Amino acid sequence: MTTDDTRSRQPASPGLAEAAAGEWEPWAGPRPSHGRMNRLAIAAFVLGLLGGVLGAVAGVVALRRIRRTGERGRGLAVAGLVLCGVWALALALVLTGVVSRPDPAVGVRGLRAGDCFRVDDTPTGTRTAPEEVATVPCTAPHDAELVDRLPAYVRHAGEAYPGTAALSARAETACRQQQRSYVLDPLSLPPDVRLRWYVPSRVEWPTYPQITCYLAAGSTPLTRQLRQDATVVRPEQLAYLMATRELDEARAVLAAQGPTAAPAELRAMVARTATANGRFWLALSAQAWPAQVKEPMEKLIAEAQEAAAYWRDAEKAADRDQTLRLVAQAEQRREPQTELAVRRALGLSTVQGEPAR
């Protein structure tokens, strides 16, 4: 046999002999296991239905093994991964909702100063707090806004429940004081808004003896926040409101009680108002005001200075008639339009219930 004969009997390409014997395969890698299902793929699908991180881990590992071994189950592994993704998305949506949106149904204890909420009714008297209130944005219709929570009493351990009447008396004094700081400009309050409060019940008394002060709407729901304190108003607005508050309160008391007060009480009211008037124009004079406020503010200061002489004379008046006559002359020095011009320039309320700008 020649060399040419030997070559003519060899296969035309490598592997044909093995193919003839059933041993050659036309792809690289291990031989597929066509009848075997990958167990991790099954586990990934089941865990994906139940939710959890393990389903995603099992799915990734299963895909790697299937790629290497050729086992069946790729579809189950992918389905498990998809299900895990759906669970993760649902959980993220739930958590986002909890963080970004206040719980619409919370107890009064969960409220903070400035929160707006809805209640079933706004009683004129005192009552204990409801178990749940619906919190809403202050721009949505609501009928209450929390002012503050205060200790009902500085009590001793084991002190007996004092009753709603005693708690109500304490609440009225304490809540009005808090409202004074919460709403620095009473003119900004709608005319039908009233101060209300909840007092602790007998059951709450041992563990939560708190008074809850809130502003309640009248017949018309509120659609804005009523808060007007140092955290809300601008610095120049705050300076004016703090300067005028003492004088406004003294004048209001004098106008309401002065005509019928005993001589000594009347004299004390006049002295208080005279002192407040002096502090008023001194505080305004010491402040640097924006350009648009300067002209009306200078006029207001001049009117208060003019009135000061009449207040001093009223303090020294010999009798009630002369005192009241000098008080009236002091009040005439103040032009209402001047104060309105100052308020307008500052962006403060000029009529009852108008919000500040």
Residue 229 maps to a domain: no
- Distance from the first to the final alpha carbon of the chain: 114
* In a shared domain, residues 278 and 195: no
Q: Which of 108, 204, 107, 213 has the alpha carbon at shortest distance from 162?
A: 204
Of 54-63, 131-140, 179-188, 345-354, where does mean pLDDT reach its minimum? 54-63
Write out the DSSP string of 207-258: T--EEEEEEE--SS-B-S---BSTTTS-HHHHHHHHHHHHHHHHHHHHHHHG
Residue 66 maps to a domain: yes
* C-alpha Rg value of the chain to the nearest Å: 40
Residues 6+ apart with CB under 8 A from 241: 184, 185, 228, 233, 348
* In a shared domain, residues 171 and 253: no
Helix, strand or coil, per DSSP, at residue 167: helix
Helix, strand or coil, per DSSP, at residue 303: helix
Residues 6+ apart with CB under 8 A from 274: 308, 311, 312, 314, 315
Which pLDDT band holds residue 7 (cuts at 50, 70, 90)? Answer: very low
* In a shared domain, residues 255 and 338: yes
Residues 6+ apart with CB under 8 A from 341: 296, 299
* In a shared domain, residues 114 and 182: yes
* In a shared domain, residues 141 and 62: no
Residue 300 maps to a domain: yes
* In a shared domain, residues 207 and 263: no
212 — phi, psi (to 5°)? Answer: -110, 115
Residue 329 maps to a domain: yes
Measured CA to CA, the distance from residue 299 to residue 303 in angstroms comes to 6
Final residue of a domain: which of 150, 184, 216?
Answer: 216
Neighbours of 249 (CB within 10 A): 15
Residue 34 maps to a domain: no
| pLDDT, tens digit, 9 for 90 and up, residues 81-90 | 787 778 778 7
The DSSP H or E segment spanning 136 is strand 133-136
Measured CA to CA, the distance from residue 357 to residue 354 in angstroms comes to 9
pLDDT at 276: 96
Residues 6+ apart with CB under 8 A from 158: none
Q: For residue 265, give its domain range.
A: 235-346
Q: Which of 320, 316, 311, 318 has the alpha carbon at shortest distance from 260?
A: 320
pLDDT at 157: 67
Q: Say which residue, 9 or 311, is predicted with more confidence.
A: 311
Q: Which two tokens stand for residue 349?
A: 């309320």
* In a shared domain, residues 334 and 243: yes
Residue 55 maps to a domain: yes
> Across residues 34-42, what is the average pLDDT?
72
Domains contained in the chain, number: 3
pTM, rounded to two decimals:
0.66
Residue 114 maps to a domain: yes
| pLDDT, tens digit, 9 for 90 and up, residues 117-168 | 987 654 544 577 777 788 999 999 999 999 998 888 776 667 788 888 889 9
Q: Which two tokens stand for residue 234?
A: 């601008």
pLDDT at 96: 65
Write out the DSSP string of 192-204: T-EEEEE---TTT
pLDDT higher than 60, residue 346: yes
- Calculate what percentage of the chain has a pLDDT beyond 70: 83
* In a shared domain, residues 210 and 240: no
Final residue of a domain: which of 216, 251, 266?
Answer: 216
Residue 297 maps to a domain: yes
DSSP 355: P
pLDDT at 67: 79
Tokens 């407040």 -> residue: 276
Output the CA–CA distances (angstroms, integers) from residue 261 to 247, 254, 268, in the order listed: 19, 9, 10
* In a shared domain, residues 295 and 333: yes
The DSSP H or E segment spanning 89 is helix 74-100
* In a shared domain, residues 112 and 212: yes
Write the secondary structure of 305-353 as one string of H (helix), E (strand) and C (coil). Answer: HHHHHHHHHHHCCCCHHHHHHHHHHHHHCCCHHHHHHHHHHHCCCCCCC
* In a shared domain, residues 241 and 318: yes
pLDDT higher than 80, residue 209: yes
* In a shared domain, residues 243 and 311: yes
